[in-house]
Amino acid sequence: MKIVIAGAGSVGRSVALELLAHGHDITLIDNMPEKLRIATVADADWVLADACSPDALRDAGVEEADVVVAATGDDKANLVISLLSKTEFAVPRVVARLNNPNNEWLFDQAWGVDVSVSTPRIMTALVEEAVSIGIPVRLFSFNTAAVSMHALILPEDSPVVGRRVHSLELPPRSVLAALLRDGRPLTPSADDVFEASDELLLLVPDSDASALDQLREAVASPSSEEETEDEE
């Protein structure tokens, strides 16, 4: 694929190196000469220009790009780059870096963003995932589908432990995408049996506000339910 990355800082260069290793055609664009460390990503094409300019994006080959990554450290710039890429150049997929979680509400299709990636949110999610048992933790969202992926670790005394996957009552339009067990990803089949500490990866519609409560109640241990009743 042809991929244009706007923002040649440490994030942009790291993404470029990973994508080059996977055989993709990469162009990096930045308006700061000190960011153009060409030797660090020697196999990429480099453009010194302001990616918020349509002419600069055209010179960088965005018209032929399969993906644009807006990876600058400025949320406003990333939104402008995303909008131009989608509306002016009809780029099929636009991925935008979200620096300030308070701006998350802006990073949607209205601004041309197909997927937003927030490092602070990912770090928070990973911390919560490590310490939260029986509570759905949002990992990331797919703006084009208005769906988020959540991780949910089964408590040892969850009522679903020992039961088959098909017996788990999921909220409407929610999907169990994968199981993580003993450090390995598994494709769940209807006859697989849940084990304690299984990590469920679920796709949940953002529009269903009650879905996360339903999931939490479905896997809740008896002891946690009793504590909730005592609090009431």
Quote the pLDDT of residue 144: 67
**Tokens representing residue 57 in the block:** 């994006």
**E-assigned strands of the chain?**
2-6, 25-30, 45-48, 67-70, 93-98, 115-118, 137-142, 147-153, 175-181, 184-186, 199-205
Quote the pLDDT of residue 122: 66
**CATH 1.20.120.80 holds for 2-117:** no
Quote the pLDDT of residue 70: 96
Write phi, then psi, for 37 (nearest 5 degrees): -90, 75
Provide DSSP, 81-111: HHHHHHHTT--SEEEEEE--GGGGGG-SGGG
Domain with CATH 3.40.50.720 in the chain: 2-117
Which pairing describes strands 199-205 and 147-153: parallel, antiparallel, or unpaired? Answer: antiparallel
Quote the pLDDT of residue 66: 95
Quote the pLDDT of residue 149: 87
Give just the sign of the alpha carbon dihedral 169, 171, 173, 178.
negative
What's the rounded Cα separation, in Å, for the pair 89 and 85?
A: 5
Quote the pLDDT of residue 228: 47
**Tokens representing residue 15 in the block:** 């993404």
Domain with CATH 3.30.70.1450 in the chain: 132-221
CATH number of 132-221: 3.30.70.1450
pLDDT, one tens digit per residue, over 161-199 is 999 999 999 998 899 999 999 888 899 998 899 999 899
Quote the pLDDT of residue 231: 47
pLDDT, one tens digit per residue, over 66-85 is 999 999 999 999 999 999 99
pLDDT in tens, the chain (232 residues): 999 999 999 889 999 999 999 999 999 999 998 888 899 899 999 999 999 999 999 999 999 999 999 999 999 999 999 999 999 999 999 999 999 989 989 999 899 999 888 876 666 666 665 557 888 888 777 766 788 888 889 988 999 999 999 999 999 889 999 999 988 889 999 889 999 989 999 999 988 889 989 999 999 877 655 444 444 5
